[in-house]
Amino acid sequence: MGMAQISYFPVDNHLISALVERWRPETHTFHMPFGECTITLEDVAMLLGLKISRAPITGYATMDWGALVQRLLGMTPPESMLAGSRLRMTWIDRHFSNVSEHIHSQEQLERYIKAFILRIIGGYLLTDHSSSFVSLRYLSFLEDLDVCGQMSWGSCVLANMYRELCVASNYDHKEIGGSVLNCFVVLQFVWQPYLELLPALPPYCFEDSQVWRSTVPLINFHIVECHYADRVMRQFGMVQHIPTPPIHPEKLHDLSLRGKDNTDWSRMHVQFVQEWQSRLHRVWTQPACDTPHLSNSLEYMVWYRKHTRQWISPSSAKEGYVVSTNLRMYLNNYL
């Protein structure tokens, strides 16, 4: 699909709500009747065309924001357009909506490109719940566009998406940020949805494809969420084994930027940055599987039923228990 078409994807709020109910924050997977599945680095690379390897998006989250905007976009927004480290996207729309006004010099064009990318980040990739602001901490990465294009924006977007799903799975939260989630969940679930599309996809979608199967922390400044590829091997056409327990502490979900002025998150999270840097040594592999559909008697499915929630509400649990009991009685009497 790519970034150019992301705004045309429809929003299915009912499907998103249903998936949030199936989300497990400790494993970053959806618990379905047929096993675990999730949104992976492969999905980000294939659907958005973003880099999923290279350097993580982290560093200082505090600076002189007005001066940063002036230096990179050529004008200083009024204080009414700033809310801490966030900039109103209406200000970007007002000054950078018409490209013909910004083609009179190379410097002007580069400023327009940076504003355009910042608008995509705030509007689709890394949105906040207001959908009105964009964080300026990402603008600092746009200073050198060549370097910016080589950074791991894909893992950053996925880290943010995982965090939003984890927050939304709390019973006292009613909304979810990150509109990029829409382009993933509207697709009917298929274990390997891209096989028929591979010949038509550009080469950059396959860069560092071995990282798709790595179990690594995904980093976005204060956000650290683990990519547990070993729990969804069927999405890579491989046999699913019984996975190891999650390794990262759940207290990471409590970290926020509030009160963390002058924090260098690359140093604060040095352990996770180092794990990310060793991603090529954290790749899982299994034998190829003949079919992703597993019998309930297989070892993995026996283990899975003991560790998952079969039903997501008391009413569905009651109905499901009656159905499963009747089915068990029928099988015992007639088979």
The answer to whether residue 277 scores a pLDDT higher than 70 is yes
Q: Which residues pair with 226 in a beta bridge?
A: 217
Using one digit for the tens of pLDDT, what is the confidence trace for 41-92?
999 999 899 999 999 999 988 889 999 999 999 999 999 999 989 999 999 9
**Cα(12)–Cα(241) distance, integer angstroms:** 32
The answer to whether residue 9 scores a pLDDT higher than 80 is no
The answer to whether residue 125 scores a pLDDT higher than 80 is yes
**Cα(133)–Cα(95) distance, integer angstroms:** 15
Q: Is the dihedral of CA 87, 91, 93, 97 positive or negative?
A: negative
Q: How confident is the model at residue 288, as a pLDDT?
A: 94
Map residue 53 onto helix, strand or coil. coil
- State how far Cα 108 lies from the chain centre: 32
> Long-range contacts made by residues 254-259, C-beta under 8 angstroms, separation at least 24?
255/222, 255/223, 255/224, 256/222, 257/61, 257/85, 257/221, 257/222
**Cα(170)–Cα(172) distance, integer angstroms:** 6
Mean pLDDT score across all residues of the chain: 85
**Cα(286)–Cα(231) distance, integer angstroms:** 12
Using one digit for the tens of pLDDT, what is the confidence trace for 292-334?
888 888 999 999 999 887 666 565 555 555 545 554 554 455 4
Under 8 Å between Cβ of 85 and 222: no
